[in-house]
Amino acid sequence: MDTQQQPGRQAGLPPLASGALPGVGHALEFLRDYPRLLERGFAEHGEIFRLRLGRRPAVFLVGPELAKWVFKETDHSLLIGPSLEFTEDLFGPDLYYLAGPDEYERQRAIGLPLFRGKVAAAHLAIMERHCASFTARLGTEGTFDLPAEMNDLVLGVIMEALVGDDFVRRMPPTVARDFRLFIRGVDPITPAWVPAPHLVRARRARDRLRAACGELVRARRASPVDPPDYLQVLAAAVGLDGEPVAESQVVREVLSTVFAGHDSTTGHLGWAVIDLLQHPDELAKILAEQHRVMPADAALDIAAVHRMACLDRALRETMRLHPVVPLMIRRAMRPIELRGRLVPEGADVFIAPVLSHRLPRLFDDPASYRPDRYLAHPELASHLHGFGGGSHRCLGEHFADLLAHVALTRLFQQFELTLLEPHPVPVRTPAFKGPRSPCRVRYQRKVLSLAGSAA
């Protein structure tokens, strides 16, 4: 790629997309409908353009090649922490993605054992149990709100699998709602000091979660468990200075672990259900594959999950069309010349999976849901970057994928589902993009024959 670390004399700023208003620039349109705004910027100027979103230049880079450059330059000419300062009011300082490279690596090393291959079977057992509880609670027939139910299912799995049983027991009864409110407070546009209702609700939810989690951390430090689980490892952790990590930071790390996987996994799972219900031919392929791989009353194991190639392709296509982290941001720490354009020092640099995943030069008929495109062209998967890349690639990617396999398998094995909302829409927050509630699904439990197939 044609990049240099210092600007050339002829390099100018990336061109500005049309529509900037006096004073507010593109901020209001960004909050109202940023995908359309980005599409216009791309149509006008190609893969590098600029928006006015605040006091800093906002440079948008489109396409997998530029995304890979961003991932490579992260922790060098680009940093994550300074670009996400707007989250500090919610999360506090020194959270792993706000911290410098050394502190980031310390915190990442603590979390790595959560996602190693040898724990996948234990995670799968927890997922199976939560899915069984969910499907049993539904009963024979009725309707449910897809985002709300997937939110509760995913949150329960993540809390138990990644933090522990006692974390689940000690959280307040409002924990699912509190996490939803907390997530909605991740707002890159509205200043933290503005008493906007969604920010006020997010802070109140944060305080309830912190208080409950703090009690648990104190209990763990007073009475450690053996063998230590992840929560115990965090409670006993020491910082780079060799001193015990402060309770407040342990609380932040625990909540961020749950936060990091909760909304993105919930959104991915919700859109996967919607995509399959909107495309019954593709759903029929999934059901046929389930029948080949395992009977409905058999326990899932990792080997069976790995044989679900059709479901793999469906989930990949959902990730392409509905990246639940639609934008990623970095801060330029020095002037950079990129394809003949100057990215100035201090600029916020965005990559946009929401746009890059639909480039016609890469994907035929990019707006259509076509999972078999990866069967004919498996290399297309390399263009997807919804889970990030480089040393900052999402640790929980495989965990989220495993949960999606388990939940979709059990849900579609046991129920006939009908989507009641003709045109589901994403949530309004620009940080994550799951389907907006209410998104109702009607269900009817299937009658299973003794052989385990639907009658």
Confidence of residue 23 (pLDDT cuts 50, 70, 90): confident
Amino acid at 245: V
Chain mean position to CA 386: 8
Residue 76 class from Cβ within 10 Å (0-12 exposed, 13-18 middle, 19+ buried)? exposed
Reduced to 3 states (helix: H, G, I; strand: E, B; else coil), residue 264 is helix
Helices (H), ranges, 15-63: 27-45
282 or 182, greater pLDDT = 282
- Domain residue ranges in the chain: 3-445
Long-range own/partner contacts, residues 391-394 (CB < 8 A, 24 or more apart): 391/74, 391/75, 392/71, 392/74, 392/75, 392/80, 392/97, 393/71, 394/260, 394/264
Q: What is the pLDDT of residues 107-121, one digit of tens each?
A: 667 666 666 666 788
* Whether 160 contacts 139, CB under 8 Å: no
Amino acid at 394: C
The pLDDT, as a whole number, for residue 2 is 52
48-52: strand order across its sheet:
48-52, 57-61, 348-351, 328-332, 78-79
The pLDDT, as a whole number, for residue 451 is 44
Confidence of residue 194 (pLDDT cuts 50, 70, 90): confident
* Whether 176 contacts 168, CB under 8 Å: no
CATH of domain 3-445: 1.10.630.10
Tokens of 317: 């296509």
R_g over Cα of the chain: 23
Helices (H), ranges, 92-196: 101-111, 120-138, 146-158, 165-170, 175-184
Confidence of residue 184 (pLDDT cuts 50, 70, 90): confident
Helices (H), ranges, 159-300: 165-170, 175-184, 197-222, 230-235, 247-278, 280-293
Q: What is the pLDDT of residues 201-223, one digit of tens each?
A: 988 988 888 888 888 889 888 98
Dihedral pair phi/psi, residue 171, rounded to 5°: -70, 150
Q: What is the mean pLDDT of the chain?
A: 85
The pLDDT, as a whole number, for residue 110 is 67
CA distance 163 to 166: 8
Beta bridge partners of 342: 337
Beta bridge partners of 444: 141, 416
Q: What is the pLDDT of residues 259-295, one digit of tens each?
A: 777 778 888 999 999 999 999 999 999 999 998 888 6
Tokens 């509880």 label which residue?
133
DSSP string, 182-203: HHHT--SSS-TTS--HHHHHHH
Tokens of 128: 């199976």
Cis bond before residue 438 (omega within 30° of 0): yes
61 or 230, greater pLDDT = 61
| pLDDT higher than 90, residue 364 | yes
The pLDDT, as a whole number, for residue 452 is 47
The fraction of the chain above a pLDDT of 70, given in percent, is 88
Tokens of 45: 């100027």
Q: What is the pLDDT of residues 151-161, one digit of tens each?
A: 889 988 988 88
- Of the candidate ranges 272-286, 336-350, 424-438, 440-454, the one whose mean pLDDT is the lowest: 440-454
The fraction of the chain above a pLDDT of 90, given in percent, is 44
| pLDDT higher than 50, residue 8 | no
* Whether 272 contacts 314, CB under 8 Å: yes
The pLDDT, as a whole number, for residue 450 is 41
CA distance 177 to 303: 35
Chain mean position to CA 102: 24
Phi-psi region of 33 (alpha: psi -120 to 50; beta: other; left: phi over 0): beta
Dihedral pair phi/psi, residue 26, rounded to 5°: -100, 5
How is residue 86 annotated by DSSP? G
415-419: strand order across its sheet:
141-145, 440-445, 415-419
